[in-house]
Structure 1
Amino acid sequence: MNKIKYSLLLLLVMMGCNDRLDLTNPNSQTTGTFWQTESQAIAGCDAIYNSMIIDGSYMRMTPALSDARGDDMSGDSPWVDYVQVSNFTIPTTSAPVQWVWGAWYQLIWRANQVLENVPGITMDEDLKKRILGQAYFLRGLAYFNLANTYKVVPIITSTPKSSTDYYPASATEEEIWAQIFSDFQNAKDRLPVSYGNVSGADMGQIGRATKGAATGMLGKAYLYRKQWQNAADQFNLLINGPELNIYSLVSNYRDNFTASNENNSESLFEVQFAGPNEVGGSVPNWGGDPSSSWKQVSGQACTYAADGYGWSDFLPTTWIYNEYKQEKTKDGKTDPRLLATIASYEPDDNSTTVYGNPWPYATNKIYPRKYTNDGLGVANEYDLNSGINYRVLRYADILLMYAEALNELGQTAAAYPYIQQVRDRVNLPDLVASKPNLAQVQMRDQIAHERALEFASEGQRINDIIRWGWLYDADKLAMLKTHDPDFNTWTAGNEYLPIPQTELDVNKNLLPNPAN
């Protein structure tokens, strides 16, 4: 199967302010000469995906700055920004905070160009529909990440037509989430279930957004805004619907976080990274102007890898480590997600090595393993050649979100089987037998526990903590402080990253957010 190879095309918006300066460079494409053909429409679409493999987005900073704020991970870096993000004291002048903002607005800018220009191109109409669906999906995903990271941001749905368009105003939360719902719905209406049977240049390509991905993200967006019935309706289509019930859990949990079983049956959407032997390149794809010499690698493995094998910028918390030990499997073993997520010294579970070498640390030291190449025949991560795809949405998430929606709708008993599917994968006991007849509030806590174990160090925990309101519940906040001492320095509003100071300085219509 073909993976989509992300185009390194840089799409430029040319805004001349003096006719005498409007010179044409025959070696450069402009919007006036570019959007003419079907192949250019495809290249424009591929360029949107390219924004997801730079440092500010999924290449490194979006996962890192999300994980850092959860109670499952903590900053352990000489780079002070990581530590300050982790303890909620990051200043508005932080470079990584700016990179995240810039990456997602770059993606939005590229998506807007596709949505404006592709409808006018004479080309295969079904292919055009798919291209527009992908642009809507990726723009919706960008706004989903921006809303969860910064809370309130400007909504930009068109390219600038005059200098006044360079200074968009901040939107309200309600307006931002309405845009997210709209983009994912528009994507869902246009995207295919798969690309296996389409006719066109994208036929058989793996990694492009699908109808299932749009349905799942639409449901997730509804869930985040507590629209429980709307969320449940979308998840039900993926679990029980006649068209989209094509997903299933893979048997080996760790297959979701290595390069050996990518784009598997559990994956609704993942970002396609590749080692240099797959696509070539000699320069890491940190960002800036795309170049043919770029690699298409992930920086997450090196960022998370243990001391001596990578930068070790983050550590799992002792709390999440102990949480995996709370319940034994049916055959009396440790939850297998522990060693898929955390590198720890576990002689009882035949785990006494790191990157294939004898354990060199104190026996109580723990490091991240998820999304690293630990145990996969890689000597270390310093060469920045990790090709591990980043899984944005997994079927396990659909199951647990459906259970959560059902519980919030008062159908607590109906939530059990969807939770149990996730537990069965790792051979945990039947929840109906071990914890029968949970009340709604008790089930909320159980789902929070299940999500912590299933999605540790996947950038989800801080979003869950925020949307559940735990930081503004005295008892829950006290609990978080026992999980992770970083929460001792949290102050109201700083669960979000601040709007970058450089943006506030140049845009008089941009408002500070609660973290500024």
Structure 2
Amino acid sequence: MNLKYSTLALLFFLFISCENDLNVAQQDAQTEKDFLNNPENAVQLINGIYNKQLDYNMYSFSWIGITSITSDDADKGSSLSDTGADKHKMDNLTFDAGDISFQDVWNGRYEGIYRANNAIYYLDLLAIDASLKNRLIGEAKFLRALFYFDLVRCFGGVPIIVDKIDINNNDLINQVVYTRKTKVETYAQIETDLLDAIEKLPLKGQYGAQDFGRASKGAAQALLAKAYLYQQKWQEAYNLSGDVIGSSQYSLLPNYAHVWREVGENGMESIYEVQAALTNGLRDYTNVQGPRGTPDLGWGFNTPSTNLESAYEPGDVRKNATILYRNAGSLWDGFPTSSAWNNPRYNYKVYQSQLAESWNGDKGNTAKNLRILKYSDILLIRAEAAFQLGFTSEALVRVNEIRNRAGLTNLTSITLQAIYKERRLEMAMEHDRWFDLVRTGQAPTAMAAAGKTFIVGTHELFPIPTTEIIRSGNRLSQNFGY
């Protein structure tokens, strides 16, 4: 097979679509000099990276499958006969390298990386205000680091592409696109991008209203703190999470249930979220998980498990803010629940209100933002890093901040398991649980308790998509056990 029909070839055609998305005027309508001196073109280059996050192969069905349905937080849901292509295999941990979910996640992230690389390349050529250029490069590097963070958590070391690639240079493609770097090297690139982004980006509060929701210094610090946590760089995770906490830019929302509703979007607890609008919405994220049956609100996948349900303490407000019960009578907006829905429980955090939130009748293209980084996550990172460093008093304080908002009494002492438990319940159904189980070594025991078999030495990573290995001429190596 011709090597041009590879990940890189896909990304080449993507750049064409990216230019269309950005509505950049054709070159016969303006000179190259005009293009390079127009700051609006620079902003549109970056907007193209943000827009990629709305696509189906980013945070929709496949991402939901491999980050949530795999875990003990969720079951496949829907109906017994509807497998969702491969979601039954995600639920049973019987997935393999040919499953579409892994291909989607791989493609989506590299498409985003390609947009980021091209944006950085062209930004260097643009003759625009230096401070604006720096900020935009910082945004591109934050987004590129976020995409690589998803990839390294899923697949381990991956090909690292940080430059604009000539798709006619087969030697370079083989060396860069079809050569996996190590996990350590991949994290090193994430760190490099984020450290630069921290220097270039403004604080959240320094953005004007027209730029609200863009990546900020706090977002870069938060993501770097999380990357440090995954590498067990406890002191660095402790320091960076402390910087976010000390910035005075963020705090917990008083009402936990508001965090995932429209009223909480870009609020005091939000560090970074995918921005969606009625005219440019998040593709099928809510639709995949909406209650299935009559009335039909979605496909009914990714339903909270009884394992998660039983993990909450009595009085924990997070339970009823996370689990939507079909026998509840009515939802928070007055919408009636239905005994005709297929499953007894659904993910309440993704519920899109037709009565009290922005709604145009299109379930597959909603204006509901997706939270990627939250302040509560940073408090828990600080707590875990503090505990690992022996700062148990601070770990206890941070955990109790979380518990107080949840309506629970203070703990009087702290253990690592208590921190893990609070993390699970605080972040339930938010795509972190599987990765947390793997990175902390809890996965074999937790999966066994959920009736699933976690294969040690294999399931710590997902398989590299078979199609990518074939396209690479077997230059890309497969993860062990697949």
Please give the range of the TM-score, normalised by the shorter of the 2 chains.
0.7 to 0.9
CA displacement at 1:245 relative to structure 2: 2.2
1:302/1:381 contact within 8 Å kept: no
User: Is it true that 1:430 corresponds to 2:410 in the alignment?
Assistant: yes
Give, as a single letter, the amino acid of the residue that structure 1 aligns with 2:225: G
Residue number in structure 1 paired with 2:88 = 83
Residue number in structure 2 paired with 1:304 = 289
Cα distance in 1 for partners of 2:146, 2:427 equals: 19
For structure 1, which segment, 493-502 or 378-387, has the greater mean C-alpha deviation from structure 2 after superposition?
Answer: 378-387
1:344/1:363 contact within 8 Å kept: no
Residue number in structure 2 paired with 1:353 = 330
Cα gap change, 1:102 to 1:191, in 2 (>3 Å): same
Cα distance in 2 for partners of 1:197, 1:148 equals: 31
User: Is it true that 1:369 corresponds to 2:348 in the alignment?
Assistant: yes
Cα distance in 1 for partners of 2:464, 2:52 equals: 20
Query: Match of 2:48, SS?
Result: helix
TM-score normalized by structure 1? Answer: 0.80
Cα gap change, 1:145 to 1:360, in 2 (>3 Å): same
1:407/1:415 contact within 8 Å kept: yes
Residue number in structure 2 paired with 1:186 = 196
Residue number in structure 2 paired with 1:481 = 448
Give, as a single letter, the amino acid of the residue that structure 2 aligns with 1:512: Q
2:37/2:128 contact within 8 Å kept: no
Cα distance in 2 for partners of 1:345, 1:48 equals: 38
Query: Match of 1:269, SS?
Result: strand
Give, as a single letter, the amino acid of the residue that structure 2 aligns with 1:248: S
For structure 1, which segment, 95-104 or 169-178, has the greater mean C-alpha deviation from structure 2 after superposition?
Answer: 95-104
Residue number in structure 1 paired with 2:477 = 511
CA displacement at 1:38 relative to structure 2: 1.9
2:386/2:395 contact within 8 Å kept: yes
1:88/1:495 contact within 8 Å kept: no
Give, as a single letter, the amino acid of the residue that structure 2 aligns with 1:300: Y
Query: Match of 1:209, SS?
Result: coil
TM-score normalized by structure 2? Answer: 0.86
1:52/1:59 contact within 8 Å kept: no
1:310/1:382 contact within 8 Å kept: no
Residue number in structure 2 paired with 1:21 = none
Cα distance in 2 for partners of 1:394, 1:515 equals: 35
Cα distance in 2 for partners of 1:104, 1:335 equals: 36
Residue number in structure 2 paired with 1:62 = 63
Cα distance in 1 for partners of 2:441, 2:28 equals: 53
**Runs (5+) with no aligned partner, structure 1:** 1-8, 15-24, 280-294, 329-333, 472-476
- Amino-acid identity (%): 30
User: Is it true that 1:144 corresponds to 2:154 in the alignment?
Assistant: no
Cα distance in 1 for partners of 2:271, 2:196 equals: 17
Give, as a single letter, the amino acid of the residue that structure 2 aligns with 1:431: L
Give, as a single letter, the amino acid of the residue that structure 2 aligns with 1:173: K
CA displacement at 1:238 relative to structure 2: 1.4
Cα distance in 1 for partners of 2:201, 2:141 equals: 10
Q: Could you give the per-residue CA deviations for residues 110-148 of structure 1, whole angstroms, max 9, x where no partner exists? A: 111122221222111110010000011000000000001
Cα distance in 2 for partners of 1:403, 1:495 equals: 24
2:235/2:389 contact within 8 Å kept: yes
Residue number in structure 2 paired with 1:285 = none
User: Is it true that 1:388 corresponds to 2:368 in the alignment?
Assistant: yes
2:234/2:389 contact within 8 Å kept: yes
User: Is it true that 1:209 corresponds to 2:210 in the alignment?
Assistant: no
CA displacement at 1:358 relative to structure 2: 4.5
Give, as a single letter, the amino acid of the residue that structure 2 aligns with 1:297: L
CA displacement at 1:353 relative to structure 2: 3.0
Residue number in structure 2 paired with 1:499 = 464
User: Is it true that 1:165 corresponds to 2:146 in the alignment?
Assistant: no
Q: Could you give the per-residue CA deviations for residues 138-191 of structure 1, whole angstroms, max 9, x where no partner exists? A: 000000000011112111111213222333200001100111111111111100
Cα distance in 1 for partners of 2:460, 2:299 equals: 25
CA displacement at 1:10 relative to structure 2: 5.8
2:316/2:408 contact within 8 Å kept: yes
Indicate which of 257, 261, 267 corresponds to 2:260: 257
1:13/1:30 contact within 8 Å kept: no
1:196/1:205 contact within 8 Å kept: no
Residue number in structure 2 paired with 1:124 = 129
CA displacement at 1:263 relative to structure 2: 0.2
Cα gap change, 1:321 to 1:128, in 2 (>3 Å): same
Q: Could you give the per-residue CA deviations for residues 395-418 of structure 1, whole angstroms, max 9, x where no partner exists? A: 000001100000000111221111
Cα gap change, 1:29 to 1:183, in 2 (>3 Å): farther
Residue number in structure 1 paired with 2:304 = 316
Cα gap change, 1:225 to 1:466, in 2 (>3 Å): same
Residue number in structure 1 paired with 2:99 = 94
Indicate which of 428, 434, 443 corresponds to 1:462: 434
Query: Match of 1:47, SS?
Result: helix
Query: Match of 2:281, SS?
Result: coil
Give, as a single letter, the amino acid of the residue that structure 1 aligns with 2:374: R
Cα distance in 2 for partners of 1:53, 1:512 equals: 29
Cα distance in 1 for partners of 2:28, 2:75 equals: 48
Cα gap change, 1:352 to 1:502, in 2 (>3 Å): same
Q: Could you give the per-residue CA deviations for residues 94-120 of structure 1, whole angstroms, max 9, x where no partner exists? A: 222211111100111111112222122
Query: Match of 1:428, SS?
Result: coil
1:184/1:214 contact within 8 Å kept: yes
Query: Match of 1:353, SS?
Result: coil
1:10/1:47 contact within 8 Å kept: no
CA displacement at 1:424 relative to structure 2: 1.1
Give, as a single letter, the amino acid of the residue that structure 1 aligns with 2:427: F
CA displacement at 1:377 relative to structure 2: 5.0
Cα distance in 2 for partners of 1:86, 1:380 equals: 33
Residue number in structure 1 paired with 2:249 = 246
CA displacement at 1:385 relative to structure 2: 3.9
Residue number in structure 1 paired with 2:224 = 218
Q: Could you give the per-residue CA deviations for residues 34-84 of structure 1, whole angstroms, max 9, x where no partner exists? A: 655322211111111111111111244324421112110121341241111
Cα gap change, 1:297 to 1:480, in 2 (>3 Å): closer
Q: Identify, as 1 or 2, the structure richer in helix.
A: 2
Cα distance in 2 for partners of 1:26, 1:121 equals: 15
Indicate which of 318, 321, 326 corresponds to 1:337: 318
CA displacement at 1:470 relative to structure 2: 2.0
Q: Could you give the per-residue CA deviations for residues 315-357 of structure 1, whole angstroms, max 9, x where no partner exists? A: 2110110112xx23xxxxx3111111111267xxxx3335722
Cα gap change, 1:30 to 1:492, in 2 (>3 Å): farther
Cα gap change, 1:46 to 1:358, in 2 (>3 Å): closer
Give, as a single letter, the amino acid of the residue that structure 1 aligns with 2:429: S
Give, as a single letter, the amino acid of the residue that structure 2 aligns with 1:90: F
Cα gap change, 1:398 to 1:320, in 2 (>3 Å): same
CA-based RMSD of the aligned residues comes to 2.9
CA displacement at 1:419 relative to structure 2: 0.8
1:304/1:368 contact within 8 Å kept: yes
Give, as a single letter, the amino acid of the residue that structure 2 aligns with 1:506: R
Cα distance in 1 for partners of 2:356, 2:430 equals: 23
Cα gap change, 1:117 to 1:191, in 2 (>3 Å): same
For structure 1, which segment, 492-501 or 447-456, has the greater mean C-alpha deviation from structure 2 after superposition?
Answer: 492-501
Query: Match of 2:366, SS?
Result: coil
Indicate which of 367, 384, 394 corresponds to 1:414: 394
Cα distance in 2 for partners of 1:60, 1:114 equals: 28
CA displacement at 1:29 relative to structure 2: 10
